[in-house]
Structure 1
Protein backbone atom coordinates (compact mmCIF):
# COMPACT_ATOMS: atom_id res chain seq x y z
CA UNK A 1 0.00 0.00 0.00
CA UNK A 2 1.04 3.56 -0.65
CA UNK A 3 0.69 6.00 2.21
CA UNK A 4 0.87 9.80 2.29
CA UNK A 5 0.13 12.00 5.32
CA UNK A 6 -1.25 9.03 7.23
CA UNK A 7 -3.79 8.07 4.55
CA UNK A 8 -3.69 5.10 2.19
CA UNK A 9 -3.61 6.14 -1.47
CA UNK A 10 -5.67 4.19 -4.00
CA UNK A 11 -3.76 2.84 -6.98
CA UNK A 12 -3.97 0.35 -9.82
CA UNK A 13 -1.21 -1.26 -11.81
CA UNK A 14 -0.97 -0.56 -15.53
CA UNK A 15 -1.05 -3.62 -17.77
CA UNK A 16 1.22 -2.88 -20.72
CA UNK A 17 0.25 -6.08 -22.49
CA UNK A 18 -3.53 -5.76 -22.40
CA UNK A 19 -5.76 -8.19 -24.23
CA UNK A 20 -9.10 -7.64 -25.96
CA UNK A 21 -11.54 -10.35 -24.98
CA UNK A 22 -14.30 -11.81 -27.13
CA UNK A 23 -16.98 -10.18 -24.97
CA UNK A 24 -15.76 -6.70 -25.91
CA UNK A 25 -15.98 -7.60 -29.59
CA UNK A 26 -19.55 -8.89 -29.18
CA UNK A 27 -20.72 -5.96 -27.01
CA UNK A 28 -19.40 -3.16 -29.22
CA UNK A 29 -21.33 -3.46 -32.47
CA UNK A 30 -19.82 -0.38 -34.09
CA UNK A 31 -16.25 -1.28 -33.15
CA UNK A 32 -16.49 -5.00 -33.89
CA UNK A 33 -14.21 -4.94 -36.93
CA UNK A 34 -11.60 -2.69 -35.30
CA UNK A 35 -11.54 -4.79 -32.13
CA UNK A 36 -11.18 -7.98 -34.20
CA UNK A 37 -8.17 -6.48 -36.01
CA UNK A 38 -6.68 -5.41 -32.68
CA UNK A 39 -7.15 -8.91 -31.25
CA UNK A 40 -5.37 -10.41 -34.26
CA UNK A 41 -2.45 -7.99 -33.91
CA UNK A 42 -2.25 -8.88 -30.21
CA UNK A 43 -2.11 -12.56 -31.18
CA UNK A 44 1.05 -11.78 -33.19
CA UNK A 45 2.63 -10.15 -30.13
CA UNK A 46 5.02 -11.91 -27.76
CA UNK A 47 3.07 -11.48 -24.52
CA UNK A 48 5.55 -13.15 -22.19
CA UNK A 49 6.19 -11.29 -18.96
CA UNK A 50 9.76 -10.44 -18.02
CA UNK A 51 9.43 -10.60 -14.26
CA UNK A 52 7.84 -13.26 -12.12
CA UNK A 53 8.54 -16.09 -9.74
CA UNK A 54 10.66 -18.98 -10.85
CA UNK A 55 8.71 -21.62 -12.74
CA UNK A 56 11.21 -24.35 -11.98
CA UNK A 57 10.51 -24.17 -8.24
CA UNK A 58 6.84 -24.85 -8.98
CA UNK A 59 7.78 -27.89 -11.08
CA UNK A 60 7.09 -26.29 -14.47
CA UNK A 61 9.72 -26.40 -17.19
CA UNK A 62 11.66 -23.19 -17.80
CA UNK A 63 10.46 -20.81 -20.48
CA UNK A 64 12.25 -20.98 -23.80
CA UNK A 65 14.84 -18.20 -24.08
CA UNK A 66 13.56 -17.00 -27.44
CA UNK A 67 10.00 -16.24 -28.54
CA UNK A 68 8.38 -18.36 -31.21
CA UNK A 69 9.14 -17.25 -34.79
CA UNK A 70 5.52 -16.22 -35.43
CA UNK A 71 5.51 -13.58 -32.67
CA UNK A 72 7.17 -10.19 -32.28
CA UNK A 73 8.01 -7.99 -29.33
CA UNK A 74 5.49 -5.20 -28.69
CA UNK A 75 7.78 -2.45 -29.97
CA UNK A 76 8.62 -4.35 -33.15
CA UNK A 77 5.01 -4.53 -34.35
CA UNK A 78 4.75 -1.85 -37.01
CA UNK A 79 2.35 -0.36 -39.55
CA UNK A 80 3.04 -3.10 -42.09
CA UNK A 81 1.85 -5.75 -39.62
CA UNK A 82 -1.32 -3.74 -39.03
CA UNK A 83 -1.97 -3.34 -42.76
CA UNK A 84 -1.47 -7.08 -43.36
CA UNK A 85 -3.91 -7.88 -40.57
CA UNK A 86 -6.47 -5.41 -41.93
CA UNK A 87 -6.22 -6.98 -45.39
CA UNK A 88 -6.63 -10.48 -43.95
CA UNK A 89 -9.66 -9.62 -41.78
CA UNK A 90 -12.92 -9.79 -43.74
CA UNK A 91 -15.65 -7.26 -43.07
CA UNK A 92 -18.91 -8.60 -41.69
CA UNK A 93 -22.08 -8.26 -43.74
CA UNK A 94 -23.63 -5.67 -41.43
CA UNK A 95 -20.47 -3.66 -40.86
CA UNK A 96 -21.18 -0.10 -39.84
CA UNK A 97 -19.83 2.73 -41.99
CA UNK A 98 -17.81 3.97 -39.03
CA UNK A 99 -15.81 0.74 -38.88
CA UNK A 100 -14.85 0.55 -42.55
CA UNK A 101 -11.12 1.00 -43.13
CA UNK A 102 -10.30 4.35 -44.66
CA UNK A 103 -7.38 4.64 -47.05
CA UNK A 104 -5.56 7.92 -46.81
CA UNK A 105 -4.84 9.41 -50.24
CA UNK A 106 -1.17 10.02 -50.93
CA UNK A 107 -0.01 13.60 -50.60
CA UNK A 108 0.06 15.45 -53.89
CA UNK A 109 3.53 16.31 -55.15
CA UNK A 110 4.43 19.83 -56.10
CA UNK A 111 3.32 20.81 -59.63
CA UNK A 112 6.87 20.99 -61.01
CA UNK A 113 8.21 18.09 -58.95
CA UNK A 114 10.26 15.30 -60.46
CA UNK A 115 8.29 12.90 -58.24
CA UNK A 116 5.06 13.62 -60.09
CA UNK A 117 6.60 12.64 -63.43
CA UNK A 118 4.87 15.55 -65.11
CA UNK A 119 6.10 19.02 -65.82
CA UNK A 120 3.43 21.67 -65.66
CA UNK A 121 3.53 25.13 -67.09
CA UNK A 122 2.76 27.73 -64.48
CA UNK A 123 -0.67 29.23 -64.97
CA UNK A 124 -1.88 32.62 -63.91
CA UNK A 125 -3.83 32.56 -60.69
CA UNK A 126 -7.44 33.60 -61.19
CA UNK A 127 -8.20 37.09 -59.93
CA UNK A 128 -11.48 38.06 -58.31
CA UNK A 129 -13.43 40.53 -60.34
CA UNK A 130 -15.06 43.24 -58.26
CA UNK A 131 -18.85 43.23 -58.30
CA UNK A 132 -20.76 46.52 -58.15
CA UNK A 133 -22.87 47.07 -55.05
CA UNK A 134 -26.63 47.03 -55.43
CA UNK A 135 -28.69 50.02 -54.42
CA UNK A 136 -31.09 49.39 -51.56
CA UNK A 137 -34.71 50.40 -51.77
CA UNK A 138 -34.52 51.76 -48.24
CA UNK A 139 -32.53 54.87 -47.54
CA UNK A 140 -32.14 54.30 -43.80
CA UNK A 141 -29.86 51.26 -44.19
Structure 2
Protein backbone atom coordinates (compact mmCIF):
# COMPACT_ATOMS: atom_id res chain seq x y z
CA UNK A 1 0.00 0.00 0.00
CA UNK A 2 1.37 3.38 -0.98
CA UNK A 3 1.42 6.03 1.75
CA UNK A 4 0.62 9.52 0.46
CA UNK A 5 0.96 12.85 2.25
CA UNK A 6 -2.44 14.02 3.48
CA UNK A 7 -4.01 10.57 3.77
CA UNK A 8 -5.54 9.40 7.04
CA UNK A 9 -4.81 5.79 7.98
CA UNK A 10 -5.15 3.58 11.03
CA UNK A 11 -2.10 2.10 12.67
CA UNK A 12 -0.84 0.34 15.78
CA UNK A 13 1.58 1.83 18.32
CA UNK A 14 4.72 -0.31 18.30
CA UNK A 15 7.07 1.79 20.41
CA UNK A 16 7.09 4.86 22.62
CA UNK A 17 10.09 7.12 23.16
CA UNK A 18 10.58 10.43 24.96
CA UNK A 19 10.26 12.28 21.63
CA UNK A 20 7.24 10.49 20.15
CA UNK A 21 5.67 7.17 19.20
CA UNK A 22 6.32 4.72 16.38
CA UNK A 23 3.23 3.57 14.51
CA UNK A 24 3.04 0.49 12.28
CA UNK A 25 0.96 1.36 9.23
CA UNK A 26 -0.88 -0.93 6.80
CA UNK A 27 1.62 -2.62 4.51
CA UNK A 28 4.19 -3.10 7.27
CA UNK A 29 5.66 0.41 7.07
CA UNK A 30 6.48 2.32 10.25
CA UNK A 31 6.12 6.04 10.85
CA UNK A 32 6.80 8.42 13.72
CA UNK A 33 4.32 10.67 15.53
CA UNK A 34 6.44 13.44 17.05
CA UNK A 35 5.52 14.45 20.61
CA UNK A 36 4.27 17.82 19.31
CA UNK A 37 1.76 16.00 17.06
CA UNK A 38 0.24 13.70 19.72
CA UNK A 39 -2.40 16.05 21.18
CA UNK A 40 -3.70 19.60 20.95
CA UNK A 41 -2.55 20.35 24.48
CA UNK A 42 1.02 20.33 25.85
CA UNK A 43 2.38 16.78 26.07
CA UNK A 44 4.99 16.24 28.78
CA UNK A 45 5.07 12.44 28.46
CA UNK A 46 3.80 10.49 25.45
CA UNK A 47 2.92 7.58 27.75
CA UNK A 48 0.15 9.72 29.27
CA UNK A 49 -1.63 9.63 25.89
CA UNK A 50 -0.56 6.39 24.21
CA UNK A 51 0.50 2.87 25.12
CA UNK A 52 1.86 -0.08 23.14
CA UNK A 53 -0.58 -1.85 20.83
CA UNK A 54 -3.07 1.08 20.83
CA UNK A 55 -4.93 1.49 17.53
CA UNK A 56 -4.83 5.13 16.40
CA UNK A 57 -5.87 7.15 13.38
CA UNK A 58 -3.02 9.21 12.01
CA UNK A 59 -2.53 11.66 9.19
CA UNK A 60 0.54 11.35 6.99
CA UNK A 61 2.21 14.77 7.08
CA UNK A 62 5.59 13.97 5.51
CA UNK A 63 7.36 11.28 3.52
CA UNK A 64 11.08 11.90 3.13
CA UNK A 65 13.73 9.33 2.17
CA UNK A 66 11.73 6.43 3.59
CA UNK A 67 10.85 8.25 6.81
CA UNK A 68 7.15 8.81 7.41
CA UNK A 69 6.01 11.71 9.59
CA UNK A 70 2.60 11.27 11.20
CA UNK A 71 0.18 13.35 13.25
CA UNK A 72 -2.61 12.24 15.56
CA UNK A 73 -3.92 15.73 16.28
CA UNK A 74 -4.26 16.59 12.57
CA UNK A 75 -6.19 13.35 11.96
CA UNK A 76 -9.04 14.52 14.18
CA UNK A 77 -11.93 16.16 12.34
CA UNK A 78 -12.28 19.92 12.77
CA UNK A 79 -15.59 20.76 14.43
CA UNK A 80 -16.95 24.19 13.55
CA UNK A 81 -19.04 25.95 16.21
CA UNK A 82 -21.27 28.90 15.67
CA UNK A 83 -20.14 32.15 17.28
CA UNK A 84 -23.17 32.25 19.57
CA UNK A 85 -22.36 28.77 20.90
CA UNK A 86 -18.76 29.78 21.64
CA UNK A 87 -19.87 32.84 23.57
CA UNK A 88 -22.53 30.99 25.54
CA UNK A 89 -20.39 28.00 26.48
CA UNK A 90 -16.90 29.01 27.67
CA UNK A 91 -16.25 25.48 29.07
CA UNK A 92 -15.88 24.12 25.53
CA UNK A 93 -12.93 26.44 24.93
CA UNK A 94 -11.03 25.17 27.95
CA UNK A 95 -11.44 28.33 30.03
CA UNK A 96 -13.29 26.57 32.84
CA UNK A 97 -11.16 26.35 35.95
CA UNK A 98 -12.14 25.05 39.36
CA UNK A 99 -13.31 27.68 41.79
CA UNK A 100 -10.45 28.96 43.93
CA UNK A 101 -10.42 31.10 47.00
CA UNK A 102 -9.24 34.54 45.89
CA UNK A 103 -5.92 35.47 47.43
CA UNK A 104 -5.27 38.96 48.65
CA UNK A 105 -2.05 40.78 47.93
CA UNK A 106 -0.42 40.04 51.30
CA UNK A 107 -0.98 36.27 50.91
CA UNK A 108 0.45 36.30 47.40
CA UNK A 109 3.46 38.37 48.53
CA UNK A 110 4.13 36.03 51.46
CA UNK A 111 3.95 33.00 49.16
CA UNK A 112 6.32 34.66 46.66
CA UNK A 113 8.84 35.60 49.36
CA UNK A 114 8.84 32.06 50.77
CA UNK A 115 9.38 30.49 47.32
CA UNK A 116 12.08 33.06 46.50
CA UNK A 117 13.98 32.33 49.74
CA UNK A 118 13.82 28.58 49.05
CA UNK A 119 15.20 29.07 45.53
CA UNK A 120 18.03 31.26 46.79
CA UNK A 121 18.95 28.69 49.46
CA UNK A 122 19.08 25.97 46.80
CA UNK A 123 21.34 28.12 44.62
CA UNK A 124 23.62 28.93 47.57
CA UNK A 125 23.90 25.24 48.49
CA UNK A 126 24.82 24.21 44.95
CA UNK A 127 27.44 26.96 44.57
CA UNK A 128 28.87 26.24 48.03
CA UNK A 129 29.22 22.57 47.12
CA UNK A 130 31.05 23.51 43.94
CA UNK A 131 33.41 25.80 45.88
CA UNK A 132 34.07 23.31 48.62
CA UNK A 133 31.80 24.68 51.32
CA UNK A 134 30.76 28.21 52.31
CA UNK A 135 33.31 29.82 50.01
CA UNK A 136 36.24 29.23 52.34
CA UNK A 137 39.54 27.76 51.17
CA UNK A 138 40.45 24.29 52.29
CA UNK A 139 43.45 24.00 54.56
CA UNK A 140 45.76 21.05 54.04
CA UNK A 141 48.11 19.69 56.67
CA UNK A 142 51.67 19.22 55.58
CA UNK A 143 54.00 16.94 57.45
CA UNK A 144 57.58 17.98 58.01
Higher helix share: 2
Higher strand share: 2
**Range class of TM-score, shorter chain:** under 0.3
Q: Please report the TM-score for the alignment, with normalisation by the length of structure 2.
A: 0.18
Is the radius of gyration larger for structure 1 or structure 2?
A: 1
